[in-house]
Structure 1
Amino acid sequence: MKYHENDPGITIPPEIRNQYHAVLGWCAKGVDSLADRLVFRDFDNDDFKVNEIFHDNNPDVFFDSAVLSALIGSCSFVYISKADDQIRLQVIEASNATGIIDPITGLLTEGYAVLKRDDFGNPISEAYFTAQLTTFITGKDVTNIPNHTNHPLLVPIIYRPDAVRPFGRSRITRSGMYYQKYAKRTLERADITAEFYSFPQKYVVGLSNDSEPMDSWKAAISSMLQFTKDDEGDSPKLGQFTTSSMTPFTEQLKTAAAGFAGEMGLTMDDLGFASDNPSSVEAIKASHENLRLSGRKAQRSFGSGLLNVAYLAACLRDDYAYERSQFMNTIPKWEPLFEADANMLSIIGDGAIKLNQAIPGFMDKETVREITGVKGSDQEPPIETGDDNG
């Protein structure tokens, strides 16, 4: 939103073009629309009690920060440290960390991170991570801390990795940036055209050569202009040029919004072009099908990275190098991408009854929570007994 590129237009003079700069936040909206729906719940089958580690590290901020940074920069990094027998987790954005990744495990073989910068952006605290050692560099001071986990204590959280890009790809695509720039240029041209739309150009023909020059500003804002006939009895004629219409800019902006919405899996409503009829939850889910698929993919990618964080945090806490295979049964759990309303709860309830009638015990309260995101009561249901009639 803060970046101003040169407008390649050929009809508007540069001195006028530089007076108008539009600001548009569509790319930020595309990131936030997915990040706000990715809500991490906890780890299931938590044999190593890693949920306690995350609960001690402000999980409401930690998970949202890691997810948002990964969506913007294709990946984020989690720096794991230990102080006073307590595990500390710190999110570092992609611009301040790097490393060499093992494509099999998703862990780093070595890594580097800038932990702190001064007001001018210069690094003042750095760290180099290896499997056996963590080196901290502060100015000319170098401190080595032994690492007994057999892995660098810098873990990447990656969005949509693949064989070509093991560090993933950003949610902000080149196509999305093009549509935002396209809309931004449209708004700037609309602002310039609005000046002529507000004060249309007027003209006068038939004035005598002996008449005094007319003040253009007075002629534009005056409510009454007086013209007298000349010696020959002729009078001037007034006219106004046709004003430029703002409709083409509106249509052009909608075209850019439609392209951006298709790229990001959003709808026109998400970008401020409200529809006439409000949508139900089912209609919103149907219109956001691409967003739902992107969210499910992001949950799988981020879940693998968060599981690696849990694995190394448990190793550092217990000061013991566990095998990564011991965490295979620990499963990351996420809240549903779309919250259920009353109508959806009723439909799911009817479906659960029918499924359990066909296959007894097929759906329990944990399964229903996975679908709806609503946690049931922890109390056991009362056991119904028949009347004792003797």
Structure 2
Amino acid sequence: MTTLNFGAVEGLTETERQQLQDLAGVYNYHQSGNTVKNKYYEGHVTLNDVNLGIALPNGLRGMEIGCNWGQKAVDALADRSMFDGFVGSGAAAETMTQLVAGNRLLAEYAKACREELKYGCVFATLSADPALRCRIRFHSPATSAALWNGEKGRIDCGLAIIDTVPDEKFKGTWRPHIVNLYTDDAVLVLTAQNGVWTAERHAHRMGRPLMEPMIWNATSGKPFGRSRLKKAVRALIDDYIRIIANATIALEFDTTPQKYLLGLTDDQYDAVVSNKFKQYVGAILASTTNPETGENPQFGQLAQGSLQPHVDKMRMTATQFSAATGLTITDVGIINDANPTSSDAILAQSQTLVLMAQQLNTSNGDALRTIAQMAQAIVRNVPLDQLSDEERDVMPHFKNPAMPSVAVTADAAIKIASARKEFASTDTFLEMIGFNQADIRRIKAQEQRVRGQQLLVEVENENNGENLG
């Protein structure tokens, strides 16, 4: 876990020093919680983390039970938030298309969305770049922090660690050396050399920090949102891990059920105890009458335990987890083979997740629109209030989170085209009937080639007609 401690930084004003110290305090305060959330997302939860001290033996405390529920809760929702670029008109649309391609925003958004749901928020930072014109980067709360300004309804200031961990084996000792501080009028690049931090100031005209959060499930008390892996969800994961551990231990005992022999001689007892496994797997178990009592030895076996209580408890916990996260019951591994769920029933179960994805797209869409406006202002080197109406109208586009089949969307596209003839010649029509952007470009190029060939044929026919006349 990384801890930020700047001490005295050369080149900062008194206000900026206070902001930096406040941000470092916020960052350090949240790191322990962020570590826990990442632990549950990656599935690195041991029995020592969940043991109640009743049924699980202490010798198994370091054992890890494979559980991907935390990752599933995050990824299933993130996968339905499919950012598809920006739409607009004129030069503004062309500018954003170039920025999306140069910054690989489609792929970066997918990663950022997972971080947002894992921690509750993610931060986008912007900076001028000679090659890209504007560089856009995303930072999770594991490498960034911000202070909220309730009066302005936006970030007051923020910081982001720019240099990253060189390798996973250095995570325990790694210390950042480049940190950016974002204020209303500047980006300050803080660099550490020999334990001394210095600041390099890059002023801007934006009038607000070049940092914008994408926030999931925010409230008035938590303006930076809440994680999908909140405490109640983590408790259900703990419960599931305990169930699997108990079921595994019970299965070990059921594999070798307890047997007993009564009325043995001392020699017979020593022979059995000296090699219990041999006696267990032996096909024949022989013994003689006990000469001291005159009784024949009696063999017996205790009743086997049942795994059914563990299975029932697992189903109950999975149902609770499904209700808490909006996942379908099949997403958490519960399948009823005796009465399979119909496709309509599965679609109905996924409606909760679709509604969550629509909410996610709405909140992220507002953030992406602000990011697009700041990016265009950086490209033109103007304040936000000097953007044109065309630049302000640029907005993000998301694919349908319900992810309907191609047959459904194609049928809808054909019906729309029958009412609006011009719709059939648009890229949107081709997208709805199942073609991606690469296919659309090939189709348009080939259609243009065919029209060119037809035009040449028509011209040639006209020339031949004139020669004959």
Q: Which runs of 5+ in 1 are unaligned?
A: 383-390
* Greater RCO (CA < 8 Å, at least 6 residues apart): 1
Q: Determine the C-alpha separation between the residues in 1 that align with 2:145 and 2:410.
A: 48
Provide the residue aligned with 1:94 in structure 2.
141
Judged with a 3 Å threshold, the aligned counterparts in structure 2 of structure 1 residues 305 and 325 are, in CA distance, closer, same or farther, namely farther
Residue from 216, 219, 244 that aligns with 1:159: 216
The answer to whether the Cα contact below 8 Å between 2:268 and 2:287 also exists between their aligned partners in 1 is: no
Provide the residue aligned with 1:251 in structure 2.
312
Q: Percent identity?
A: 22
SS of residue matched to 1:135: strand
Partner amino acid, structure 2, of 1:340: P
Cα deviation for residue 35 of structure 1 reads 1.0
Q: Determine the C-alpha separation between the residues in 2 that align with 1:374 and 1:102.
A: 44
Judged with a 3 Å threshold, the aligned counterparts in structure 2 of structure 1 residues 186 and 212 are, in CA distance, closer, same or farther, namely closer
Please list the CA deviations of residues 66-88 of structure 1 after superposition, one character each: whole Å capped at 9, or x if unmatched.
Answer: 21111111111112122225211
Asked if 1:145 corresponds to 2:202, the answer is yes
SS of residue matched to 2:174: coil
Cα deviation for residue 361 of structure 1 reads 7.6
Residue from 58, 80, 90 that aligns with 2:126: 80
Q: Which runs of 5+ in 2 are unaligned?
A: 1-42, 452-469
TM-score by length of 1: 0.85
Cα deviation for residue 222 of structure 1 reads 2.3
The answer to whether the Cα contact below 8 Å between 1:158 and 1:167 also exists between their aligned partners in 2 is: yes
Partner amino acid, structure 1, of 2:88: N
Residue from 331, 334, 344 that aligns with 1:273: 334
Residue from 319, 326, 333 that aligns with 2:397: 333
Asked if 1:315 corresponds to 2:377, the answer is yes
Judged with a 3 Å threshold, the aligned counterparts in structure 2 of structure 1 residues 80 and 353 are, in CA distance, closer, same or farther, namely closer
Cα deviation for residue 295 of structure 1 reads 0.2
Partner amino acid, structure 2, of 1:196: F
Judged with a 3 Å threshold, the aligned counterparts in structure 2 of structure 1 residues 19 and 79 are, in CA distance, closer, same or farther, namely closer
Provide the residue aligned with 2:244 in structure 1.
187
Please list the CA deviations of residues 14-68 of structure 1 after superposition, one character each: whole Å capped at 9, or x if unmatched.
Answer: 23x4264313110111111111121111222255232321211112321112211
The answer to whether the Cα contact below 8 Å between 2:407 and 2:433 also exists between their aligned partners in 1 is: no
Please list the CA deviations of residues 283-332 of structure 1 after superposition, one character each: whole Å capped at 9, or x if unmatched.
Answer: 44322010000000000011111111111111111111122794552221
Cα deviation for residue 278 of structure 1 reads 6.6
Provide the residue aligned with 2:277 in structure 1.
217
> Which structure features the higher share of helix residues?
2
SS of residue matched to 1:137: strand
Judged with a 3 Å threshold, the aligned counterparts in structure 2 of structure 1 residues 265 and 196 are, in CA distance, closer, same or farther, namely same
Asked if 1:8 corresponds to 2:52, the answer is yes
Partner amino acid, structure 1, of 2:263: G
Judged with a 3 Å threshold, the aligned counterparts in structure 2 of structure 1 residues 128 and 367 are, in CA distance, closer, same or farther, namely same
Provide the residue aligned with 1:388 in structure 2.
none
Q: Determine the C-alpha separation between the residues in 2 that align with 1:78 and 1:328.
A: 19
Provide the residue aligned with 1:38 in structure 2.
81
Partner amino acid, structure 2, of 1:64: A
The answer to whether the Cα contact below 8 Å between 1:336 and 1:372 also exists between their aligned partners in 2 is: no
Provide the residue aligned with 2:226 in structure 1.
169
Provide the residue aligned with 2:235 in structure 1.
178
Q: Determine the C-alpha separation between the residues in 2 that align with 1:294 and 1:325.
A: 33
Judged with a 3 Å threshold, the aligned counterparts in structure 2 of structure 1 residues 257 and 46 are, in CA distance, closer, same or farther, namely farther
TM-score by length of 2: 0.72
Partner amino acid, structure 1, of 2:287: F
Instruction: State the Cα RMSD in Å.
Output: 3.0
Which has the larger displacement, 303-312 or 96-105?
A: 96-105
**What number of residue pairs does the alignment pair up?**
375
The answer to whether the Cα contact below 8 Å between 1:179 and 1:260 also exists between their aligned partners in 2 is: yes
